[in-house]
Structure 1
Amino acid sequence: MLVSLTVVTWYAFGTIEDFYLKQVRRDLRERLSFIQDHVKDYLDPLNEKDIDMLCKRIGPPSGTRFTVILPSGRVVGDSLADPRLMDNHADRPEIIQAIKNNTGTSVRTSYTLHKKMIYGTVILKDGTEIIGILRAAFPFASIEKQLAEVRKRMVLGSLFVAIFAALISLYMSRRISRPIEKIRKGTERFAEGDFGHRLPVEGAREIRGLAVGMNQMAMELQRRFEVIRQQRIELETILSSMREGILTVDRDEHVVSINEAACMILGVGYEWVRGRSVQEVFRNPVIEQLVGTALATREPLEKDVTIYKMDGDRVMSIYTTPWKKGDRDQSGVLVVLNDVTRIRRLEKIRQEFVANVSHELKTPVTAIKGAVETIRHVRKADISDAPDFIDIISRNAKRLEAIVEDLLTLSRLDQDEMQPRIPVQEVILRHLLLSASSVCKGMAEQRAMRVRLDCPNDLRIKANPHFLEQAVINLLDNAIKYGEREQVITVAAEETDGQIEIRVKDQGPGIEERHLPRLFERFYRVDKARSRVRGGTGLGLAIVKHVARIHGGNVRVISKFGRGSTFIITLPHKKP
């Protein structure tokens, strides 16, 4: 702005100076025209004395120097000097210009007065003949003085305008920059995530429009980020609540994200695992190969993998699928870990159970079928052998019935164990143990055995009497079947540390240690041949285990080979 003002001032001063000089030249021409007729009267005939006197009489009062020059250049009259002493003026610029153009002007230093002067000249003619040249001059110093005053006023005016303009510009710039500065600070807060901040709507119309637009943008961004935040929370909640482990792996086989279930499955910390390689996290070549194949083929893959851990091996169903970011190429692999250890174990148990049931049922069915076929083809003469075959059929039918009843009992116990809802009531434990002993009394007497009961009269427990009595009967039945003749079987119960223990102790041959871990499995027998001979179904101890579990307890055995066995049912004591 200052440069523009300077240029304008310089141009204006030049224009004014040119205008002023034009006015001075015009004034000189008017002065020349005023006296030129008087001068012509003295030139024809030539009267040098009167011409000089005329110049000296008119020039000083008007502040003008008049000079009369003959066409030869000789000066014949001058307002300020003696013409006789003045040089020939034929070479003066204004004289030369006047002879060519009838008039002439120049600004130069006077050779006579040694002052800068502005000159104006006009030709004096008699008809077509040049008889003289009349010249008027002003001292240029007076003109410069006036121009200097004008220049001074213009400079002062320009300076005032510049200062005023600067103040106005400062005011306007502050007025404009203040809302812009507020907008800048507001955008910084937006950049920091503070979309609740609002810009003040002030200033010029354009700035107000900008503030309104940015406020609307902030509101929209706030809304969208809130949607994204809610979606992220929902996703994190879903991932954290899932039992399946989920983690994402980038194209360089480094873990990008992981949920809590995956951390628990792998036994690693959330902060530690992020950014680690697949090799560090899994330490399993099969999984590493599976992830690498998924990255290479870009196809979903699934495989069961056994992970070896300190607390036991786990079977994992590993599912991998490529994932992408937007329209870009594959960015990595999504890995889903599903702990199927229990499922695979149950499948194995189911397969073994089906095989065992088939085997257990096959034996009595085969015996019954054989007996029936024999009776069908027996001769009348041998009809006396029919009762033996009928006895075989009856005995094996009873065994089939026992197996089916035990299977039904186990099935019901399995359902109750998964969804505990069995009816319970207050039971006097001594009465329950006496009832179980009386059921087995006849079988014990056949083997000359005696059952001894050791239980306080006032010991009570909340339990299902039918199932608990069945469990005690099963333990007594085993003790009678596999114990030595003429032995004493002890049934005892007591309360210890908030629990009730029911013990069934026999004096039989005992159980080898290698059989103890699997003793309570279905259809598991220590001595298969002797068990079938004595009518065992192989499900009695499995029933005992399930009865204990549905009551929130457990069962265990203490046995030394050749020294008898003690089965202990431990139940929580729920006082009435």
Structure 2
Amino acid sequence: MALYKSRLLWKINTIFVTITLLAALIVSAFSAYLIKRSTLSEVEENLGERCAMLGELALPLLRGGEVAELQAKVLALGREIHTRLTIIAPDGTVAADSEKQPESMENHGDRPEITKAALYAQGVATRLSATLSTDMMYLARAIRHQQQIIGYARTSLPLTVIDQRIKQSRKAIVLGIGVVALLTLLSGFLLARFFIQPLVTMTAMAEALAAGDLSRRLKLRRRDEIGRLARSFNQMAENSQQRIATIEFDRKKLNAILSAMTEGVIAVDHRENIIHINQAAAALLGTDTKSTMGKPIWEITRLPDLFNIISEARKSVGEVKKTMKISHGLRERIIEMHAAPLRDGQEEIVGAMVVMLDVSELRHLETVRRDFVINASHELKTPITAIRALTETMLDDFSGMDDRTKLSFLNKISNQSLRLTAIIVDLMALSRFELEDEWNHRTPVDVGRLLDDSAQSLSPAAESKNITVKICKIEKNLEIEGDENALLQAVTNLLDNAIKYTPEGGRVELRLRGDSRNAIIEVADTGIGIEPEDQERIFERFYRVDKARSRELGGTGLGLSIVRHIIKSHKGRVRVESRPGAGSTFIINLPLTTNENGDNN
């Protein structure tokens, strides 16, 4: 059906028919001309023969002056040969005529054929006959006797035969033209179909390719140029499909890489409209990837540093680096930005790409590391300095010191050595507990027994301060999975702090309870309590609420940090509830182990 709608098909057929009709018209006109010319020549030849016959008949009668007999013979001969015959005297009068009475006819001396016959022996003329009111051909010859013209013999025939022949030939030509036109139309249609059907199919395939359907193929088995074109079309479609598949695979791979990146990636065009943004960048800007595509960057965010680096990158030939800060509520994020121009195949700058890296945690870790180095150096320096000072004093005045003073100095050196050892041991323990891979061998741990062992190990310290340690087990049979020694150290550290910071005669409680998922350990005391601003930082390394009191009590500043890392490595959490002067409660949540049915023990 698409073939019959082809404009090219109808154009070719129209051209074929037009050329055929023009050729037919030319042939018709030329044929009419030839027919007319040949017919005139034939008529003239016939008239010449009949004129010669008439001259031979009229010669003796004109010599004898037998006019009446001449009229009778001319009339009889004209009827016999169906030709108008006329005998004209030298003076132009009509002597005899086969159609009319001679005396009623006008002088014919000035007729063209007569004047030509007088000059050239024969004259031919074609004109409208006034007598018969029709086109006639006249042929006249001079009748001579002894070199003298004694009259003229004239024959004439109407030219209607020419018109009849032309009409007949035209009918034949029109019929032939019709047949040829039909044959031409049919052959032109078949020929056009032979060439245009593949073009229609190729056009449909090209439109399908333009619409994205690369699976279409041409099924032509021809060996001519159209067949070669069809095979080239199929090869082009195959190559395009492979290229598109490769591009699509690369695009999906790139999108997967960009989506999996922790760094935020934003790409904009020359109008600063977003053409790509990954999830990390959307999260940093507080938006989503779908709603931002195609929008100007200044509609998505109001960060002047981001606008500036994009503008600089579009004007630059290399990489541009900047750092900006983004506020998310009470938290401030530090973002490192690296921007570079985007170029097309002609190396023209068509946009820019920005990679954003959230270095807030890294900066925080750097700060923590720096503070840790400073605090560790300070904590280690203090006992070392004391040991050195005491040792130098003894060396300088060893002979002058009495035994009691020497013993006092040695006790102080020993205490500082013990403090230095405690700091080093805690640092090593903290390093070990920060490594999650340390917990390779986990065993079931009875939480109730942990509390008993911890209380038993610290009972001398509690008794020395007359502090009551009470164990309250709401649920006794709670079991978790983990490193028993590490968990015991965590509970012991909390209980040790509770005893240290509770005045003499106070009370410390170890409570154990559970919910559907966790074992909950609480270490509560009636000590001095913790200020609210200190509660968020007490789990940091070397952080002390009261440094002088902590050192006096032999603390290293690492106990709570060790507790946090142990509990965290066991997928638990620790927190504190405290009011100044009213004591503190440290709460540990540890996930319970599950049985074979998936229920928690």
Same-fold call, TM cutoff 0.5 = yes
Q: Relative to structure 1, is the Cα distance of residues 160 and 391 closer, same or farther in structure 2, using a 3 angstrom cutoff?
A: same
Tell me if 1:425 matches 2:437. no
Q: Structure 2 residue aligned with 1:492, among 507, 511, 535? A: 511
User: Which residue number corresponds to residue 315 of structure 1?
Assistant: 334
Distance 1:159 1:564, change over 3 A: closer
Asked if the contact 2:35–2:165 (Cα under 8 Å) also holds between the matched residues in 1, the reply is no
Cα offset, 1:170, TM superposition: 4.7
- Residue equivalent to 2:128: 109
How far the C-alpha of 1:541 sits from its partner, in A, is: 0.5
**SS of corresponding position for 1:382:** coil
Match of 2:391 in 1: 372
Q: What is the aligned-residue identity percentage?
A: 34
The superposition leaves residues 431-483 of structure 1 with CA deviations (integer Å, 9 ceiling, x where unpaired) of 33233233323333333334333336543332211101111221122122222
The one of 448, 455, 475 equivalent to 2:466 is 448
Question: Residue 297 and residue 190 in structure 1: after superposition, are their counterparts in 2 closer, same or farther (change >3 A)?
Answer: closer
The answer (yes or no) to whether the contact 2:439–2:483 under 8 Å persists in 1 is no
Normalising by the residue count of structure 1, what TM-score does the alignment of the two structures yield? 0.90
1:248 aligns with 2:228: no
- 2:423 is aligned with what amino acid? I
Q: Is the CA contact (8 Å cut-off) linking 1:520 and 1:542 kept in structure 2?
A: yes
**Match for residue 399 of structure 1?**
419
1:389 and 2:409 matched: yes
Q: 1:481 aligns with which of 490, 500, 510?
A: 500
Contact (CA 8 Å) 2:54, 2:85: kept in 1 or not? Answer: no
Residues 411-446 of structure 1: CA deviation (Å, up to 9, x unaligned) = 111111xx5744221122333323323332333333
Distance 1:422 1:228 in 2: 46
Q: 1:41: Cα distance to partner?
A: 5.1
Map of 1:233-272 to 2, 5 A cutoff? 233-272=252-291
Name the amino acid aligned to 2:412.
I
Are residues 1:515 and 2:538 paired? no
* Letter of the 2:566 counterpart: V
8 Å CA contact retained: 1:176, 1:204? no
SS of the equivalent of 2:328 reads: coil
| Amino acid in the other structure paired with 2:463 | E
What amino acid does structure 1 have at the position aligned with 2:505? E
List gaps (5 residues or longer) in structure 1. none
After TM superposition, the structure 1 stretch with the greater mean CA deviation from structure 2, 375-384 or 551-560, is 375-384
Task: Flag the 1:514–1:227 CA change in 2: closer, same or farther, 3 A.
Answer: closer
Q: Does 1:62 align with 2:81?
A: yes
Contact kept, 8 Å, 2:316 with 2:341, in 1: the verdict is: no
Distance in 2 (CA, whole Å) between partners of 1:211 and 1:55 is 83
Cα RMSD after superposing both structures: 2.9
Residue identity matched to 2:238: M
TM-score normalised per structure 2:
0.87
The aligned amino acid for 2:341 is P
Contact 2:470/2:510, CA 8 A, preserved across alignment = yes
Letter in 1 for 2:414: S
Q: Cα gap change, 1:268/1:102 in structure 2, threshold over 3 Å: closer, same or farther?
A: farther
> Could you list the per-position Cα deviations for residues 90-113 of structure 1 after superposition, in whole angstroms to 9, with x for gaps in the alignment?
322223344455433222122344
Deviations along 1:308-357, whole A, 9 cap, x unmatched? 12373322222211102221631111122222221121111111111111
- Does 2:455 match 1:460? no
Change over 3 Å in CA distance of 1:531–1:300 after alignment to 2:
same
2:513 equivalent to 1:503: no
Instruction: Say if 1:294 and 1:300, in contact at 8 Å, map to a contact too.
Output: yes
Q: Give the counterpart letter for 1:109 in structure 2.
A: L
* 1:534 corresponding residue in structure 2: 553
2:267–2:354 contact (8 Å) kept in structure 1: yes
Distance (Å, rounded) in 1 between the aligned partners of 2:390 and 2:157: 165
CA distance in 2, matches of 1:27, 1:427: 145
| CA shift for structure 1 position 539 | 0.2
How far off its partner does 1:527 sit?
Answer: 0.6
Could you list the runs of 5+ residues in structure 2 that have no partner in the other structure?
1-16, 596-601
Do the aligned partners of residues 475 and 157 (structure 1) sit closer, same or farther apart at CA in structure 2, a change above 3 Å counting? closer
Shift of residue 565, structure 1, vs aligned partner: 1.7
Pick aligned residue for 1:346 from 365, 368, 386 = 365
| One-letter amino acid of the counterpart of residue 106, structure 2 | D
Q: Is the 8 A contact 2:478 2:519 kept in 1?
A: no
Q: State whether residues 179 and 202 of structure 1, in contact with CA within 8 Å, keep that contact through their aligned partners in structure 2.
A: no
CA distance in 2, matches of 1:261, 1:96: 118
Q: Structure 2: how far apart are the matches of 1:98 and 1:378?
A: 181
The aligned residue for residue 9 of structure 1 is 28
